[in-house]
Structure 1
Amino acid sequence: MNPSKADASLEVPPLLRVHKDGALERIAGTQVVPSGFDPQTGVLSKDKVFKPETGLSVRLYRLNKESSGHEKLPIVIYFHGGAFCVSSVFDPDYHKSLNTLVAEANIILISVNYRLAPEHPLPTAYEDCWAGLKCLNSQVAGNHDVEPWLKDKGDFERVYLVGDGAGANIAHHLAMRARNNSDFNLVKLAGIGLVNPYFWGEKPIGVEVTDPIRKAMVDKWWNFVYPCDKGCDDLLIHPFVDGAPSFANLACHKILVIVAEKDILRDRGKHYYENLVNSEWKGTADIFEIEGEDHAFHIFDPDCQKAKSLIKRLASFINQ
């Protein structure tokens, strides 16, 4: 047996383990890569702290070329995945994927480095990402360390929230919170893009019924990052639970849901889409399924043809 495993009091595979002495060992999402110029895509990135008291930061991306005339570019605020407990904006896989998205879509992208559970239990991640939206709002007002990339080329009338996995979950909840909220009233939220969204529930649906082992694994992920009385029927992970607020509260007019055929979360993404289009929300929604692939495949293998198709679909959604 691996000595590290033998010393573990809790494992949350394949993400992390907690040792008997309380030490936390992350198995995935620990590598980091610096910002800078990427010669393969022509994208430039830089890191910026936006909340010094907590150390919250973002990584900003844009093409390293001047756009024509006074053209303004869509602004995408991106939330990375990792089940709320692993990865960061400095992860090489995310960095490469986002360079590709920025090059394809010609956007300004802000990737938010929210704090992770269990050191920072939920709902910390949501609050950190909301702080990022408030910071963007203050950019328009010109009262918070105005970022030149945003001031010169950012289109505050075309702001998108995009994320994968846990990040897609965050994007949904922030879009619900943004409607009629004075902390986010100077920009226009045009849409949200949810890639392999991390929604769940106690009662299995779809493929979860025939795959109880993976169902139990995802149950364990959620109960680790947010142990609460409602378990996987908490509103944060189950947006259709009894008593959930109406989707009419979504502060955007279009939504794209992307799922992968082999992903244990696939049917939850489809369930989200079906509930959305049958709700009181008045926007337009679309769903796109990638055949033969599993969760976050486009992050781990961004050069494969299906990952390129996913990025092109997301870029098209942003630029419609």
Structure 2
Amino acid sequence: MGSLPHVVEDCGGVVQLFSDGTIYRSKDIGFPIPIINDQSIVFKDCLFDKTNNLHLRLYKPTSMSPSSPAKKFSVILFLHGGGFCVGTRDWPNFHNCCLKLASGLNALVVAPDYRLAPEHRLPAAMEDGYSALQWLQAQVLSDKGDAWVNGGEVDYDQVFILGDSSGGNIAHHLAVQIGAGSTGLAPVRVRGYILMAPFFGGVARTKSEEGPSEHLLNLEILDRFWRLSMPAGASRDHPLANPFGPGSLNIELVALDPILVIVGSCELLRDRSEDYARRLKEMGKKIEYVEFEGKQHGFFTNDPYSEASEEVIQGMKRFMIENSC
């Protein structure tokens, strides 16, 4: 008689992989984060992928900010973090973050869920990110599209893709897939990408990865996320993890829209973010790197109404204005 299945990978009790291949995913996370009540923003959920039963959440300001020079709302596609293994649009930290993005940037925020590992290994998350953009395009083109998108208040010529952590990784791959000009999504026009501490990996360790652990993150957690999310048998140098790995596409040959990279100086992912921005700049890409001194992973997402987060919003706003046409 064989032994009972036992846990072989454990993501803080939220996701557990057992020795027999079964997976447990908790539905009761119990976050100690209060949900912000920002009455200047309305939100609703929509099904955007019937096949995979994926929903997204739309956030819309109730009115245009008097200080905004724009006459319509820009669009922010927000791709949440979670190491490709955890996270949904209704987690309180992501929800609060999207409220702040909508109000601070005068934008319609589109926050899709995507399929999670290990049930759905990469590139499922990248495919779902693109599917959300196709949904947005379909709403614009259809006479029966969602009124929040095609009701005349939204400028779908001004779309920015913002990814946090693993969402930043997805945003990078979307930038490469879509290319400069985003002609395949017309009339939707992506103007730029904002990557917040993008979750990149590699077999060789960086100095920041080998440095002190963060309050909410350590190297063991990062490695576990990669083991659970990568295609079976793949290493951290796989192109989906390492954009500069031995088998990765030569990004120098790809035309890209502008990119803004934001990271905290105390993040384990700091060196990879800095290296990514430096390499792309050396290739002649339009990329900007901003580092926040003393900040750890998730400093904006987990506390979007802090003083530092207000600086992030102002930086995003400037980036959007500079790349609006």
Which TM-score band (shorter chain)? 0.7 to 0.9
Q: Which moved more, 1:165-174 or 1:298-307?
A: 298-307
Distance 1:139 1:115 in 2: 22
Residues 110 and 266 of structure 1: CA distance in aligned 2, closer, same or farther (over 3 Å): same
| Aligned partner letter, 2:225 | W
User: Does the Cα contact within 8 Å between 2:57 and 2:89 map onto a contact in 1?
Assistant: yes
Matches within 5 A, 1:260-271: 260-271=264-275
Whole-Å Cα distance in 2 between the matches of residues 14 and 311 of structure 1? 33
The letter of the residue matching 1:79 is L
Per-residue deviation, residues 50-100 of structure 1 (Å, max 9, x unmatched)? 222321211011111257899222111110000011111011111111101
1:3 counterpart residue number = none
Counterparts of 1:279 and 1:266 in 2: how far apart (Å)? 20
Tell me the CA shift for residue 159 of structure 1.
0.9
- Deviates further, 134-143 or 51-60: 134-143
Q: Give 2:161's aligned residue.
A: 161
Q: Which residue of 1 aligns with 2:224?
A: 220
Query: Is the CA contact (8 Å cut-off) linking 2:182 and 2:189 kept in structure 1?
Result: no
Distance 1:80 1:150 in 2: 21
Larger displacement relative to structure 2 (52-61 or 162-171): 52-61
Structure-2 separation of matches of 1:126 and 1:226: 12
Amino acid across the alignment from 1:315: K
Shift of 1:276: 1.0
Distance 1:67 1:142, change over 3 A: farther
What's the counterpart of residue 244 of structure 1? 249
Which whole-Å deviations, capped at 9, do the CAs of 1:153-201 have from their partners, x for residues lacking one?
Answer: 2212211110100001101101111128764243221100001110110
| Distance verdict in 2 for CA 1:262–1:66, change over 3 Å | closer
Distance 1:164-1:303 versus aligned 2 partners, 3 A rule: same
2:50 aligns with: 52
1:194-205 alignment runs, 5 A limit: 194-205=195-206
Aligned residues with identical type, % of pairs: 27
Residues 1:241 and 1:109: Cα distance change in structure 2 (over 3 Å) = same
Q: Say which is worse superposed, 230-239 or 10-19, in terms of deviation.
A: 10-19
- Aligned residue for 2:85, secondary structure, equals coil
Contact 1:248 1:279 in 2 (8 A): no
* Distance in 2 (alpha carbons) for counterparts of 1:319 and 1:24: 44
Alpha-carbon spacing, 1:65–1:272, altered in 2? closer, same or farther (3 Å): same
- 1:225-263 CA-partner distances (Å, limit 9, x unpaired): 1144441001111011234232452441x2110011111
State the partner residue of 1:81. Answer: 81
How does the TM-score come out when normalised to structure 2? 0.84
Rounded Cα–Cα distance in structure 2 between residues aligned with 1:72 and 1:303: 24
Give the direction of change, closer, same or farther, for the CA distance of 1:49–1:250 in structure 2 (3 Å limit): farther
Q: Which residue of 1 aligns with 2:235?
A: 231
Distance in structure 1 (CA, Å) of the matches to 2:64 and 2:292: 34
Structure 2 CA distance for partners of 1:248 and 1:315, relative to 1, 3 Å: farther
Contact 2:79–2:112 under 8 Å retained in 1:
yes
Matched ranges for 1:52-201 at <5 A: 52-65=50-63, 71-142=71-142, 145-151=144-150, 152-179=152-179, 183-201=184-202
**What is the deviation of 1:138?**
2.3
Pick from 290, 295, 307 the counterpart of residue 288 of structure 1. Answer: 290
The letter for the 2-side match of 1:198 is F
> Would you tell me which structure has more helix in proportion to its own residues?
1
Equivalent-residue separation in structure 2 for 1:15 and 1:311 (angstroms): 30
Query: Could you tell me which amino acid in structure 2 is paired with residue 116 of structure 1?
Result: L
Equivalent residues of 1:13, 1:217 under 8 A apart: no
Letter in 2 for 1:120: H
2:122–2:240 CA contact under 8 A, matched in 1: no
| C-alpha distance in 2 between matches for 1:216 and 1:39 | 35
**Ranges in structure 1 where 5+ consecutive residues have no aligned partner:** 1-5
Task: In structure 2, give the amino acid aligned to 1:307.
Answer: S
Distance (Å, rounded) in 2 between the aligned partners of 1:203 and 1:29: 33
SS state of the match for residue 298, structure 1? coil
8 A Cα contact 2:157 2:190, kept in partner: yes
Runs of 5+ in structure 2 lacking a partner?
A: none
Q: Provide the aligned length of Structure 1 versus Structure 2.
A: 308
Q: Could you tell me how far apart the structure 1 residues matched to 2:37 and 2:16 are?
A: 37
For normalisation by structure 1, the TM-score amounts to: 0.85
Pair 248,148 (structure 1): closer, same or farther in 2 beyond 3 Å = farther
Which of 258, 265, 272 aligns to 2:262? It is: 258
1:250 and 1:99 mapped to 2: Cα distance? 32
1: CA distance, partners of 2:23 / 2:206: 35
Q: CA deviation at 1:203?
A: 0.6
CA distance in 2, matches of 1:226, 1:318: 32
After TM superposition, the structure 1 stretch with the greater mean CA deviation from structure 2, 116-125 or 103-112, is 116-125
